[in-house]
Amino acid sequence: MEDETPAAVDARSVYIGNVDYGATPEEIQAHFQACGTINRVTILCDKFTGHPKGFAYVEFADPSIVQNALVLNESSFRGRIITVKEKRTNVPGMGARGRGRGRGRGRGFRGRGR
């Protein structure tokens, strides 16, 4: 199972939005355990502050379980209405656009003859 493609993992994973910042992976697992066997719960954190970003991913044992999990879209978790969507597969090269822009601005004002 360790040589699986990221797309295969994504096919059996869901994105969970509007997650309470104090939520633990165990609480999320408890919320989704009725859907089926869970392999992993990942709460995304800001790499600079270490604080949760407010969303998570749940990876299930089988892609068929994803449809069960989608039923929990707009359910209440820790007093917040969460969104549950199929995890979209990252396409290499996408999302990198626009990085590095804005560098070098302001240099055009050198040598204006004053």
For each of the chain's 114 residues, which pLDDT tens digit applies? 556 888 999 999 999 999 999 999 999 999 999 999 999 999 999 999 999 999 999 999 999 999 999 999 999 999 999 999 999 887 666 555 555 555 555 555 555 565
Tell me the C-alpha to C-alpha distance, in Å, between residue 92 and each of 34, 80, 95: 34, 33, 8
Domain-located, residue 69: yes
Domain-located, residue 97: no
The predicted model scores a pTM of 0.76
**What is the number of other CB atoms lying within 10 angstroms of the CB of residue 71?**
11
| Pairwise CA distance, residues 98 & 100, whole Å | 6
Tell me the C-alpha to C-alpha distance, in Å, between residue 106 and each of 19, 81, 109, 110: 40, 45, 6, 8
Residue type, 98: G
- How many folded domains does the chain comprise? 1
Domain-located, residue 39: yes
Domain-located, residue 103: no
Domain-located, residue 10: yes
Domain of 40, in residue numbers:
6-86
